[in-house]
Amino acid sequence: MTKTPTSRDGKTSGRGARDLRVRVKSAKGRKLSSTLWLERQLNDPYVARAKREGYRGRAAYKILELDDKYRFLVPGARVLDLGCAPGGWCQVAVARVNALGTKSGKKVGRVLGLDLQEVDPIAGAEIHVLDFLEEGADDKVKAWLGGPADVVMSDMAAASSGHKNTDHNRIVALVEAAAQLAFDVLEPGGTFVAKVLAGGAETDMQTMLKKNFTKVANVKPPASRSDSSEKFVVATGFRGRETPAED
């Protein structure tokens, strides 16, 4: 029997390499965009890795990579995850802040997830169905966390309209609203992490964050697809609500 040639890293090489990519045939009634999405999912190494490692989606690696660089999910931290469905970011946070208390000698953190829809339970995380824009949401958050948050993070995205500028403006507005909640619930010195789409409408948002945090970085982690316009803003060193007029 002929053996498929492999390289030193175990990957298939030679003529057989091109055969490893999964091709999805178009089906009657299925849109081309759906076929291309399915093909991309089947060939995405992060999707395969998430399945192997038990994460609920490839997005888990985005927050892992951001935390590897900025180190905000530390043992003992209280974390708020806005728009937490399906739960991958919560899974990462639970492990890193030691919410289950499995790291001997380390402080035990807390993880709170909020979403508009029901989310399957995650060990070590407390998840609630709540619109974070509603009156009194900040008080509920601090009560559930047992105090102010050390980290507020958001992977939320507004429903796509298909119009690039409209979608960009919507997600910027969503990030600004998330930041306003963060100003109400964050501990001084805390961190705010949120997904945005590259474009020209986020100048005011960036200015607002720079007035309220000591450092603001814009990052595209390796797990973010190269053909996606998404990036993440990581604001560290919350100053406290010192500039309400600007907010």
Instruction: Find out whether 115 is annotated in a ligand binding site.
Output: yes
User: What is the model's pTM?
Assistant: 0.79
pLDDT tens for residues 15-45? 343 444 545 444 555 454 444 444 455 557 8
DSSP 136-173: THHHHHHHHHTS-EEEEEE---PPP-S-HHHHHHHHHH
Position 76 scores a pLDDT of: 98
**Domains of the chain, residue spans:** 57-238
Kindly state the tokens that stand for 122.
Answer: 């995650």
CA angle 85, 88, 93 (to 5 degrees): 115
- Any idea which residue has 């995405």 for tokens? 44
Position 209 scores a pLDDT of: 95
CA angle 81, 91, 185 (to 5 degrees): 20
Position 227 scores a pLDDT of: 79
Of residues 100 and 41, which shows the higher confidence score? 100
Per-residue pLDDT band at 169 (split at 50, 70, 90): confident
Q: Return the CATH number of 57-238, one of 3.40.50.150, 3.30.460.80, 3.30.565.10, 3.30.420.40.
A: 3.40.50.150
Amino acid at position 227, single letter: D
Kindly provide the residue ranges of all beta strands, DSSP E only, lying in the chain, ordered along the sequence: 78-82, 110-115, 125-129, 149-154, 186-197, 213-219, 230-238
Residue 103: pLDDT over 70? yes
Instruction: Find out whether 120 is annotated in a ligand binding site.
Output: no
Instruction: Find out whether 81 is annotated in a ligand binding site.
Output: no
- Positions marked catalytic: 195
